[in-house]
Chains A and B, each alone.
Chain A
Amino acid sequence: MTAMALAITACGTPLLASAIAPALGGDARRSILCLLLAISGLSAMIGGIQGLLTEPTSLILPLGLPWLPMHFRVDGLSAFFLLVIGTLLLPVAIYSQGYLKGEKRLGALAVFLPLFVLGMLGVVIADDAFTFMLFWEMMSVSSYFLVTFEHERLENRKAGFIYLLMAHLAGLLILGGFAVLYAASGSFEFSVMRAAHLFPFWATAAFLLVAFGFGTKAGVVPMHGWLPDAHPVAPSNVSALMSGIMLKVAVFGFLRVVWDLIGPGDFQWWWGALVLTAGSASAVSGVLFALQQHDLKRLLAYHSIENIGIILIGLGLGMLLAHFGHPLLAALGLIAGLYHTINHALFKGLLFMGAGAVLHVTGTRDMETMGGLIHRMPATALFFLVACVSISALPPFNGFVSEWLTFQTALMAPQLGGALLTAIVPFSAAMLALAGALAAACFVKVFGVVFLGHARSEHVAGAHEVDGWMKLGMAIPALLCLLLGLLPVMFIPLMDAIPASLLHVSLGAHLYEHGWLWLTPVDATHASYSAPVALAGMLGVGGLVYWWLHPKGCRIRRGALWSCGNPHIHARMQYNATAFSQPLRRIFAGVLRPEEHIHVERPAHKLLTRRVRYTVHVGDPAVRHLYQPLARLTLGLAKRVRHEHQRGIHAYLAWTFATILFLLVAFA
């Protein structure tokens, strides 16, 4: 089958699922839902690979508005995102078969989960603005119902409301961007928009509208306020999809409109600088706030902000380089961003599935009550560890490759025009390095607190391993993380169709001029990286150390933990999540502004302390300094308008009169 036929199959199966799954009952409903989603994921994956290898194909379906049939097109960019969606959707569908077992209220999930998937797939293959917005809104609205799945809790409803509000704001901005493009080209079809010539002013207007629109949906700082609230409260399989793919669909939208429809020829220098700055700010602040969380899923949600930032750093560098006439380096930045896109989809999906497994078994998301789960859930712990290493950008896993490529782009960026730009690129590279180090610290904390040590509560102590479906669902992305880390030389040529169509250059020949083993982004004299060699080195050194520490014949002796002479080992002796992040909280106190309270109980005498309680709360400054003032302003204005509404008929007439006078002045 062609790529287009597979893409349409991938879109059709979720539609079928949302139609028939609610009608079934019990286990059949769950199985059919998961099976159809898995088929959809598989066909999206194969279709994506095929689309990357073949020429673009188009299809016009006589659906929708009478004068505007739906246009679909699978080109390199959409094929790549089809691949991203399919690669995560397949394991998540398998995982859901286990995760949803025993879930009583599957009805809402059975309708909205497939529609959500359909929305994402539709956005990716849409070839006119109307179809794009239709599927985009389908994605936003159906994910709202997934966020408010457990709607009996107030915090979930609040998170859902903020999510819906921000999603609509984003939709409005994107619609504005398309309106500008429509005005310039006179057609809703992307092919016409692509060919149309834009005046710099209108190109800038369209860029700003879509950048803020897609940025809001992708969770770029400071429009990220909805993300840490909405992602944790959805069911974990949905969180995996939302964080793993939905944010990527926003990245896709940005690429489609800015890189494809507006085109690199119209880039202005400050566009790239803006994207780069937003990316750097997201990367660092995302990880800083992630470190201060003790809700496992909320922590992961903040890391999504960080990773979107890393993707944007790659894309922003690409935009700068494309403007200053270095298409080959721009292609490298683009590839780095795209590579991180699929990597983040894989390891963040895996992390959310792991967190979901923990939540499923223990019933809590609070890291302060966990601990020692590696003994009770060894397989989950292994997969989770793979994802932790990947997201911390350590070789030989995939996170390292994409961050390394981003670094290479930044380091090879030659002197760009002006001192400001020459300063901003190394600065963002430094921010990227800081974010990487902090992310590693954060995942040491996550893995240490959740899986190592002793259990901190009863229900965590009684945890057990999850079933085979969930394990299989987590094993696939874990394996892919390793493969993408080991064989970037195989995978990057596959993505070559995208820079070929957007920038009219090909990275192809350079990449593996030193054979399949070495990845050489531009020139072997500059830098090259070989994951298999690195892995072999690590295994070799590790084996030598092991051999040196455990010579042949020396038995392994297991003894009690040394507890500084204290006879009892208690779970509260361990570092917990709050304690682990204390040093960083001190260092970055200026940014984080923690609200700390120390409460000392001394009932008898001031020297006899019975109990010391330390509580800390780290609020999001964007919420405090941007969202809340905005909300207050809006409510205040609404109050005044409401007051005006109750003024009676004379006031209405006076307003009408004033309006007529104003219009006469304005148009006469």
Chain B
Amino acid sequence: MSGAFLQQLVDSLAALMLLVSFALLAQHRMLSVLNWFAAQGVLLAVTAVVVAYGTDNHELYISAVMTFLLKGLLLPWLLWRVIKELHVHREVEPLMNMPLTMLIALAVTLFSFHIIQPIEKISELLTRDSMAIATACVLLGMLMMITRRKAITQVIGFLAVENALFFAAIGSTNGMPLVVEIGIAFDVLIAALIFGLFFFQIRETFDSLEVDIMQSHLIQEDENE
């Protein structure tokens, strides 16, 4: 395949990535959030394969497989189990209404394109156009953490930030050394496991997964002291 075609392909994948990030932010139901999160993981794996082919970097194939298994299958499945076991409410319960969130998300995306412009001018990488999108995805993940009430959606927001960072890493360096990637993958896995454990523990202690209620418990304890 020609370089121009690969370039087009990577750009389209980046565009899809941005679309998925918006979709994650726009969901009302918990299960569809999870589905879109899984889709993001798969998309990430595909991007890795394309970049690996384009740059002839064989280590990236391995990390693509790992990404697919971990972020496309294992993590969504873990979270799905948590939701099922804990009987989490199926609605997402945003703190801010959806239209306003989308407007902010739009502004943040424009902002990241503006910020990245000087870098794109000097870069000669295959994936240089995807940098702005990766930055936008990081910020959108954070926005998701801010505007959602449930602890579990915040965790998904966090993992989305992590995905975006991985995307940025592929985009900016043509893939990090394999050792680093394996390390990061393990970190994410462990983080997800710990989050899962915490959910159960928090549920037992506070009888809820809403962070505001946890906080009101803490404040009451302070006042009791």
Mark A residues whose CB is within 8 Å of B. 646, 648-650, 653-654, 656-657, 660-661, 664-665, 668
Q: A660 and B219: CB pair below 8 A?
A: no
Contacts A/B (CB < 8 Å), 9 sampled: A649-B215, A650-B211, A653-B146, A657-B139, A657-B143, A660-B139, A661-B139, A668-B115, A668-B116
B168 shortest CB reach to chain A, Å? 13
Complex Cα distance, B108 from A646, in Å, reads 27
Given the interface contacts A650-B95, A654-B146, does A665 sit within 8 Å of B115 by beta carbon?
A: yes
B6 at the interface (CB under 8 A from A): no
Interface residues of B, count at CB 8 A: 18
Q: A664-B115, A665-B115, A668-B118 are in contact. Are A649 and B211 (CB under 8 A)?
A: yes
Question: How far, in angstroms, from A665 to B112 measured CA to CA in the complex?
Answer: 10
Which residues of chain A are near B219, meaning CB under 8 Å?
Answer: 646
Interface pair B115/A657, CB less than 8 Å apart: no
Q: A135 → chain B, closest Cβ, in Å? A: 42
B142 at the interface (CB under 8 A from A): yes
Distance, CA A664 to CA B136, complexed state (A): 12
Q: How far is the CA of A657 from the CA of B212 in the complex (A)?
A: 19
A660 contacts which chain B residues (CB < 8 A)? 139, 142
Minimal Cβ-Cβ distance residue in A for B149: A650
B151 to A, closest residue via Cβ: A649
Complex: A649 Cα to B214 Cα, angstroms:
10
Question: Within the complex, what minimum Cβ distance (angstroms) separates A648 from chain B?
Answer: 5
Please report whether the interface of chain A is mostly helix, strand, loop or mixed according to DSSP. helix
Residue of B112, B143, B145, B212 contacting most chain A CB atoms (<10 Å) = B145
Q: What total of A-B pairs shows CB separation below 8 Å?
A: 33
Asked if residues B142 and A653 are in contact (CB atoms below 8 Å), the reply is yes
A664 and B143 CA atoms in complex are apart in Å by 16
> Can you list, as one digit per residue, whether each of B50-70 has a CB less than 8 Å from chain A (1) or not (0)?
000000000000000000000
A657 to B154, CA, bound (A): 14
Q: How far is the CB of B90 from chain A (nearest CB, A)?
A: 21
Q: Would A648 and B139 be within 8 Å (CB), given that A661-B111, A664-B115, A668-B115 are in contact?
A: no
The B178-225 residues at the A interface (CB cut-off 8 A) are 211-212, 215, 219
**Residues of chain B within 8 A of A646, CB atoms compared:** 219
- Taking the nearest CB of chain B, how far is it from the CB of A494, in angstroms? 65
Determine if B215 and A657 form an interchain contact, defined as CB atoms under 8 angstroms apart.
no
Q: Which residue of A lies closest to B212 (CB)?
A: A648
Report B90-126 CB contacts with A as 1/0, cut-off 8 Å: 0000010000000000001001100110100000000
Q: Chain B interface secondary structure, helix, strand, loop or mixed? A: helix
B214 to chain A, nearest CB (A): 9
Cα distance, A664 to B108, chains bound together (Å): 12
Q: Give the Cβ gap from A643 to chain B, nearest Cβ, in Å.
A: 12
Residues of A within 8 A of B111 (CB): 661, 664
Give the interface centre of A646, A653, A654, A664 by most chain B CB atoms within 10 Å.
A653
What residues of A have a CB within 8 angstroms of the CB of B139 in the complex? 657, 660-661
**Distance of A663 from chain B, by nearest CB (Å):** 10
**Which residues of B have CB within 8 Å of A661?**
108, 111, 139
B212 / chain A contacts, CB cutoff of 8 Å: 648
State the CA gap A648–B219 with chains docked (Å): 10
Contact B142 A657 (CB under 8 A): yes
Instruction: Give the chain A neighbours of B145 by CB distance below 8 A.
Output: 653
The CB with the most chain A CB atoms within 10 A, among B115, B118, B146, B215, is that of B146
Q: How far is the CB of B165 from chain A (nearest CB, A)?
A: 13
Residues of B within 8 A of A668 (CB): 115-116, 118
> Which B residues between 138 and 188 are near A, CB-CB below 8 angstroms?
139, 142-143, 145-147, 154
Q: How far is the CB of B171 from chain A (nearest CB, A)?
A: 17
Expressed in whole angstroms, the minimum distance between the Cβ of B104 and any Cβ of chain A is 10
Docked CA distance A668–B112 (Å): 10
6 additional A-B pairs beyond A653-B146, A654-B146, A657-B139, beta carbons within 8 Å, are A649-B211, A650-B95, A653-B154, A656-B142, A661-B111, A665-B115
* Alpha-carbon distance between A15 and B165 when the two chains are bound, in angstroms: 57
Bound form: Cα–Cα A648–B112 in Å: 27
Q: How far is the CB of B195 from chain A (nearest CB, A)?
A: 14
- Shortest CB–CB separation between residue B94 and chain A, in angstroms? 11
Q: Which residues of A contact B116 (CB under 8 A)?
A: 668
Contact B118 A648 (CB under 8 A): no
Q: How far, in whole Å, are A668 and B115 apart by their CA atoms in the complex?
A: 6
Distance A665 CA – B139 CA, assembled complex (angstroms): 14
Shortest distance from the beta carbon of A655 to any chain B beta carbon, whole Å: 10
The distance from the CB of A611 to the nearest CB of chain B, in whole angstroms, is 52
User: A63 to B108, alpha carbons, bound, how many Å?
Assistant: 54
- In the bound assembly, the distance between CA atoms of A661 and B146 in angstroms comes to 14
Q: Which residues of B contact A664 (CB under 8 A)?
A: 111-112, 115
In the A-B complex, list the 7 residue pairs whose CB atoms are closest, starting with the nearest.
A653-B146, A668-B115, A648-B215, A649-B211, A657-B142, A654-B146, A653-B145
A654 neighbours in B (Cβ, 8 Å): 146
Contacts of A648 in B (CB 8 A): 211-212, 215
A646–B212 Cα distance when bound, in Å, is 11
> Can you name the residue of chain A whose Cβ is closest to the Cβ of B144?
A653
- A57, B219: Cα distance in complex, Å: 63
Residues of A within 8 A of B95 (CB): 650
- A650:B146 contact, CB within 8 angstroms: yes
Q: How far is the CA of A653 from the CA of B139 in the complex (A)?
A: 11
A664 to B118, CA, bound (A): 12
In Å, the complex CA distance between A653 and B142 comes to 8
Q: Write the chain B residue with the least CB distance to A652.
A: B146
For B108, list chain A residues within 8 Å (CB).
661
CB contact under 8 A between A657 and B211, given known A646-B219, A668-B115:
no
Query: How many Å from the CB of A224 to the closest CB on chain B?
Result: 40
The distance in angstroms between the C-alpha atoms of A310 and B116, with both chains bound, is 60
Across the two chains, which residue of chain B brings its CB closest to A656? B142
Assembly CA distance A660 to B136 (angstroms): 12
CA distance A91 to B215 in the complex (A): 63
- Give the shortest distance, in Å, between A642 (CB) and chain B (any CB): 12
B118 touches A657 (CB 8 A): no
Chain A residue with minimal CB distance to B216?
A: A648
Distance between B97 CB and nearest chain A CB, rounded to angstroms: 15
Closest chain-A Cβ to B182's Cβ sits at a distance in Å of 27
Nearest residue in B to A651 (C-beta to C-beta)? B146
List of A residues within 8 angstroms of B215 by Cβ: 648-649
Q: How far is the CA of A654 from the CA of B139 in the complex (A)?
A: 11
B28 to A: closest C-beta gap in Å = 19
How far is the CB of B164 from the nearest CB of chain A, in Å? Answer: 13
State A649–B145 Cα separation when bound (angstroms).
Answer: 9
Give, as a whole number of angstroms, the nearest-CB distance from B108 to chain A: 8
* Cα–Cα, bound, A285→B215 (Å): 53
